Amino acid sequence: MNIARAAEALNNQAVTSAELVEQVIANVAERDGVVKAFLKLDAEKLRKLAAESDARRAGGKALSEYDGIPIGIKDCIVTEGETCACASKLLENVVSPYDSTAVAKLKALGFIPTGRLNMDEFAMGSSCENSAFQKTSNPWDANRVPGGSSGGSAAAVGARLVPAALGSDTGGSIRQPASFCGIVGLKPTYGRVSRYGLVAFASSLDQIGPMTTSVEDAAILLQAITGADEHDSTSLPLPEENFVQAVREATVEDLKTLKIGLPEEYFNAEGMSAEVKQAIDASVKKIKAAGAEIVPVKLPHTKYAVAVYYIIATAEASANLARFDGIRYGARQEAKDLIASYFASRGAGFGEEVKRRILLGTYVLSSGYYDAYYLRAQKVRTLIRRDFEEAFKSCDILLTPVAPNVAFKFGEKSANPLEMYLSDIFTIALNLAGNCGISVPAELGSESSMPIGVQFIAPALAEAKLLKAARAFELLRGDFPAPQGC
């Protein structure tokens, strides 16, 4: 059951929260042995929270229509009293003493934060293969990756283990795994959702967002977690908007009023597979036939986006991860003195990709190289943002692929980090620009039969418009299948 249906069933007394939670526990027992999306799931705690929710509802005191619905949580978004390892050995036994604002807001509406979902260590990666603990498989094909870094969230929702989950997106980590697992993934505008309690990877890019099986559910979760927060000075005070209503009002007819831009650079990118191209082209054709105006646009600085991202994100990561030294946080390796202990703790605790990023980030920030790399990347970041501003002068929404390929096989890209980085080409530019974007399942690939998502991108803070367009597309597309056995 997705969120909307679960809410309806709870409110009609057709189901209890206890039943919903038992279903999650049973799903995980039956199917997560193969999928391996959950790092932790405390069944007793869930049962207790569900009983409390049912008691509230029975007493007419439900916290909202969603009271009692379980939501999976990515391992880098902290929940009080639960581990927050970020899938890293270094933080394996760290328990959070507080709730992230996103989780606190979910709890305030009665949603039940459910377990800890696997990810690439510290959200660095595109396949979940960088988790220190386990490899999550794609629910559509156990030999393939679920994408990353929010691969556990995507696989859990794709396999219908939980109704929905939260993920985080720094350069595509919500949208790319959503596309790989056949679900909806929304990256909100930078500042739309508080980052308080999201373990920082690259602070100028990170956002928390919904991973769901429908656009309506994405709107429900966004509505739940949005809002200014005194704990995060980059969260924005914004006028209240009703995203759920916007989505419920959307119809296929809305497409007739939309100008949809196709950025040239995203359609002739090197390395794009034939089946992805075919699927995106088919979606464009359908949207056009439904009455949308399709306009070609240009984002000329796209070719620099990967390089700029891997300078800025690693620079910020190298600073953010400095606190994980075994003294302030994390597993400590005793050594002959303080400095030796730092080296030993970080050396033993961080995985290879995290170390690579810290080294890269430290290098681009070091004196002598700062101007040549970091400062320059910041300037090109501005040019990338201006590209989007320019493009949005001639259209309402952009439509692009999410990733150049469908979910790949384990080990296919992990030996070559550059190849892995290059596959982020369609998702990272909008994090650099601060826009919002959503990945919606389009069809199954003609060769692989794996899900392929289409990405819609809107200007900063235009989530209502984005969600409406995504919903119109979803209606046009019709039902999207779940993987076999789910």
Query: With respect to ligand GLN, which residue has the nearer C-beta, 261 or 404?
Result: 404
Distance separating alpha carbons of residues 266 and 337, to the nearest angstrom? 52
Q: How many residues does the chain have?
A: 486
Distance separating alpha carbons of residues 214 and 24, to the nearest angstrom? 18
Query: With respect to ligand GLN, which residue has the nearer C-beta, 94 or 428?
Result: 428
Query: With respect to ligand GLN, which residue has the nearer C-beta, 126 or 405?
Result: 126
Rounded to the nearest whole angstrom, what is the least distance from the CB of residue 354 to ligand GLN in the complex? 11
Distance separating alpha carbons of residues 282 and 295, to the nearest angstrom? 16
CA 450, chain centre distance (Å): 19
Q: Cis link prior to 149 (omega < 30° from 0)? A: yes
- Report the interface residues with ligand GLN, using CB under 6 A: 123-126, 149, 169-173, 201, 313, 424
What DSSP letter does each residue of 237-255 carry, written as one string?
P-----HHHHHHH--GGGG
Nearest CA among 251, 216, 165 for reference residue 5: 216
Mapping DSSP to helix (H, G, I), strand (E, B) and coil, where does residue 76 land? coil
Active site residues: 74, 149, 173
Query: With respect to ligand GLN, which residue has the nearer C-beta, 178 or 284?
Result: 178
Rounded to the nearest whole angstrom, what is the least distance from the CB of residue 170 to ligand GLN in the complex? 4
Contact 151, 145 (CB under 8 A): yes
**Strand 259-263 with 451-458, pairing:** unpaired
Rounded to the nearest whole angstrom, what is the least distance from the CB of residue 100 to ligand GLN in the complex? 16
Distance separating alpha carbons of residues 178 and 210, to the nearest angstrom? 10
Amino acid at 86: C
**Rg of the chain, C-alpha, whole Å:** 21
Query: With respect to ligand GLN, which residue has the nearer C-beta, 155 or 297?
Result: 155
CA 232, chain centre distance (Å): 19
Nearest CA among 117, 19, 13 for reference residue 1: 19
Query: With respect to ligand GLN, which residue has the nearer C-beta, 221 or 464?
Result: 221
Mapping DSSP to helix (H, G, I), strand (E, B) and coil, where does residue 129 land? coil
Amino acid at 275: E
CA 427, chain centre distance (Å): 11
Q: Looking at beta carbons, which residue is closest to ligand GLN?
A: 173
Q: Kindly tell me the burial class for residue 482, based on how many C-beta atoms sit within 10 Å of its own C-beta (0-12, 13-18, 19 or more).
A: middle
Rounded to the nearest whole angstrom, what is the least distance from the CB of residue 307 to ligand GLN in the complex? 13
Query: With respect to ligand GLN, which residue has the nearer C-beta, 123 or 442?
Result: 123
**Strand 451-458 with 397-401, pairing:** antiparallel
Q: CA angle 183-187-190, nearest 5°?
A: 175
C-alpha pair distances (Å), 206 with each of 44, 67, 439: 32, 28, 17
Distance separating alpha carbons of residues 96 and 111, to the nearest angstrom? 19
Rounded to the nearest whole angstrom, what is the least distance from the CB of residue 136 to ligand GLN in the complex? 15
Query: With respect to ligand GLN, which residue has the nearer C-beta, 179 or 345?
Result: 179
Distance separating alpha carbons of residues 419 and 128, to the nearest angstrom? 15
Query: With respect to ligand GLN, which residue has the nearer C-beta, 139 or 148?
Result: 148
